[in-house]
Amino acid sequence: MRWHRLAAIVRKEILQIRRDLPSLLITVAMPLLLMLGFGYGVSFDIRHIPVYVYDRESSQQSQDFLKRFQASEYFNVMKTVDNYQAVIQALDAGACRLAIVIPVNFSEQLKTGGPVSVQALIDATDNNTANVSISYSEAVVQTYNQQIQLEWLQRHGQARLQPPLKVDARTWFNEDLESTANIVPGVVAIIMAVIGSFLTSLTIAREWERGTMEQLVSTPVTPLELMVGKLVPYFVIGLLDTALCAGMAIWWFEVPFRGQWSVFFLSCTLFLIVVLSLGYFVSVVAKSQLAASQAALIATFLPAFLLSGFIYPIDQMPAVIQVTTHLIPARYFMTIIRDVFLKGTSLPLLLDDLLALALFAVLLTILATRAFQKKLS
């Protein structure tokens, strides 16, 4: 590798990027958009679940019970209806996700004792939200039960009643269980994958399509020089984007950063090399810009989004897919970045993941230069 040739390629690429001002703006706008979009749009804090109530008794006690749902921040009681038809229509049209139906002789049955069943009709189309709303409804019912039972026992001269068991839950690393703290560091990984794949996948494909590649090849530049030269500017842009994202995560979304910056930047550097060489590889193999962009999307963005544990937990996937995730570089980076942000994990515990990333970086560089040579001959 000769430095002056490398420098020439870098200069050429920088010139090309600078001339394409819209694209340069995009490298700043895209992380911002992704950060804001995911930070606000992807939230697992399920609140304000729309609820309809059908109170067939309409007594003071039934109203009292239903008030518990109104008071909860998890539910949003939209409407009180007076027939089943309205409930069915609302569930069909998606106007509510949960409908609570109180039986006719609710308060009377409570007086005579024994369990009274209250119907909870759940739109289970979205199984996750349905599960969470069941959990919250059960909690409302349990609290209410405790209160009426306590009152009953006092009325009947029984000793005061204490709940036998209390759960004392401590959540580590993300004490308020806020999903932004969990999602936002993951978004940093997604953005890096996108920048790497989208921007670089087009650089080589464009040269082929415009016919300038032949001109480049006829110069004394070697494939490795060409690759490194083309990637260096994007590497710098990627690092700047990473810093921008980390800054937003910490100051805008107020995600705690508990780890060491050195570990953070080391892992970011490794991951950037991986995604850049992957994007390069794709653009060498693909023929047109359209093909390159589609292939890059499939090869980097989708796996980073789906198979890295960003949103969907890996340990819940079928075994075959779980094994496949080991081939996804973003999986390792996702673990590292979350651990560094939230757990403050130090280098020794992350060594396995870092080594995996390093391995990918080396392999992909070799693959990409090989593919380039093959394409030339």
Partner 1 sequence: MLGRLRGMLIKEFIQVFRDKRSRFLLFGPPVIQMLVFGYAATLEIRHIPTAVLDFDNSQVSRDLLSRFTASPYFDVRARLNDRRQIGELIDRGDVTVALQIHAGFAQDLRKGRTARLQVIVDSSVSNTALIAVGYVNQIAGRFSQDYQRERLFSTSPLVQSQLPSIVLDRRPWFNTDFDSQWFFVPGVIGNLILVMVVSLTAFAVVREREIGTLEQIMVTPIGRLEFILGKTVPFFLIGLLDTTLISLVGTLWFGVPLRGSIGVLAIGAILFILCMLGIGLFISTISMTQQQAMVSGFFFNMPAITFSGFATPISSMPEFMQWLTYLNPLRYFLDVLRGVYLKGVGLDVLWPQMTAMGVLGLVMLTISVARFHKSLD
Binds partner 1 (CB under 8 A): choice among 161, 236, 355, 362: 161
Contact, 325 vs 314, CB < 8 A? Answer: yes
240-279 positions binding partner 1, by CB under 8 A: none
Q: Is residue 339 within the footprint of partner 1 (CB under 8 A)?
A: yes
Report if residue 217 touches partner 1, rule: CB under 8 A: no
Q: Which of 86, 250, 291, 367 binds partner 1 (CB under 8 A)?
A: 291
The answer to the question of residue 32 lying near partner 1 (CB under 8 A) is: no
Cβ count near 53 (within 10 Å): 23
60 binds partner 1 (CB under 8 A): no
Q: Which stretch binds partner 1 (CB under 8 A): 232-240, 268-276, 309-317, 361-369?
A: 309-317
Among 60, 162, 218, 377, binds partner 1 (CB under 8 A): 162
Q: Output 34 or 189, the one with its CB closest to partner 1.
A: 34
- Cα 272 to chain centroid, rounded: 19
Query: 208: which residues sit within 8 A by CB, 6+ positions away?
Result: 287
Complex with partner 1: residue 259 or 365, whichever CB lies closer:
259
Q: Which stretch binds partner 1 (CB under 8 A): 2-10, 260-268, 342-350, 359-367?
A: 342-350
Residue closer to partner 1 by CB (options 63, 174) is: 174
CA distance 29 to 117: 54
Give the residue with the Cβ less far from partner 1, 16 or 222.
Answer: 16
Return the residues of window 72-131 that contact partner 1 according to CB under 8 A. 76, 89, 91-94, 97, 110-131
Instruction: Give the DSSP H/E element, type plus range, for residue 49.
Output: strand 49-55
Residue-wise burial string across 214-247, b where 16 or more C-beta atoms lie within 10 A, e elsewhere: eeeeeeebbbbbbbbbbbbbbbebbeebbebbbe
Least Å distance, CB 1 to partner 1, is 28
Q: What's 159's DSSP letter?
A: P
d(CA 111, CA 8): 88
Q: What are phi and psi of 98, to 5 degrees?
A: -145, 140
State how beta strands 49-55 and 75-81 pair: parallel
> Is 298 near partner 1 (CB under 8 A)?
yes
Q: Cβ contacts of residue 99 below 8 Å, gap of 6+?
A: 51, 52, 53, 54, 87, 90, 91, 119, 120, 121
Task: Give the shortest CB-5-to-partner 1 separation in angstroms.
Answer: 26
| 6 versus 140: smaller Cβ distance to partner 1 | 140
Q: Is 18 in the site for partner 1 (CB under 8 A)?
A: no
Which CB sits closer to partner 1, 14 or 130?
Answer: 130
Q: DSSP letter at 99? A: E
- Nearest-angstrom CA–CA distance, 355 and 251: 30
Residues 190-209 that bind partner 1 (CB under 8 A): 194, 198, 202, 206, 209
Instruction: Pick from 24, 28, 153, 327 the residue near partner 1 by CB under 8 A.
Output: 153
CB of 251 to partner 1, least distance (A): 19
